[in-house]
Amino acid sequence: MVLVAALAAAGAAAAGNRPAERRSAKAVSKAIEQHYHDARTLKAIFLETYRAGGGDIRLESGTVYFQRPGRMRWDYESPQKKLFLTDGHQAWFYIPANHTASRTSMRKSADWRTPFALLTGKAKLGEICSKVSIVPNEGGPGAPPAGHTVLDCQPKDRAGFLDAQIEVDREARVVSVVVKQPGDISTEVRFGNWQENIALPKSLFVFEPPKGVSVVDESAIAGSTP
């Protein structure tokens, strides 16, 4: 954190003039952690692109909320309403059309959203990733804009994903995250319209299953597996 504070004191202009590729992965990681360290709440819109086996592609969009410590709410609005929520202890996934909700302990959750724990002040990159490196920006179509940096995160055991690439802008604000999972599956989430430290009620991160909705306790199921 001392290095990040020194960079901040030097001024945003000086930091912006430094080529992103020359910054160390450690410095970028610390800058991300510092940026979100003081954010008690966050809100953004998101576009999620799911790819399976290089063929199946699914697009979904909605609004995401974060609140420290360890709370997330993903409200999927299109093409189907869904909800993924963590209250700091449990993770819930609910699809109204299916009349079923699943829950599991956050400690046992293998959900691909694990890297986003960083945005809730719940974890540091070093607690999620066994190795962090900078992905070289070689330009060309689809390359990140100038000033953006992409970090590659090799996860620790049972992190719920094989690899994650985190793109940040000059202010160390997360722009996108690509998560790769077993079975040749990848999920890219792009964020926009970030709002920080806005008023969010705690009730936003509490899930009460509606009447008639079946609840599947995945922690209990996992615990009973030989």
Query: Which distant-in-sequence residues (6+ apart) come within 8 Å of 106 by Cβ?
Result: 70, 86, 88, 89, 90, 91
pTM greater than 0.85: no
Evaluate whether 81 touches 216 at the Cβ level (below 8 Å). no
Low-confidence ranges of the chain (pLDDT < 50): 1-21, 223-226
Determine the CATH number of domain 28-224.
2.50.20.10
Q: What is the pLDDT of residue 11?
A: 29
Evaluate whether 65 touches 72 at the Cβ level (below 8 Å). yes
Q: What is the pLDDT of residue 188?
A: 94
Q: What is the pLDDT of residue 110?
A: 61
Cα separations in angstroms, 157 against 96, 104, 183, 218? 32, 18, 17, 20
| Structural domain boundaries in the chain | 28-224
Evaluate whether 118 touches 33 at the Cβ level (below 8 Å). yes
Rg of the chain, C-alpha, whole Å? 18
Q: pLDDT digit string (tens) for 161-186?
A: 888 999 999 999 999 999 888 888 99
The residue with tokens 């996860």 is 155
> Token digits for 176?
């996108």
> Token digits for 59?
């697009």
Q: Is the dihedral of CA 94, 175, 65, 133 positive or negative?
A: positive
Q: What is the pLDDT of residue 182?
A: 85
Evaluate whether 72 touches 62 at the Cβ level (below 8 Å). no
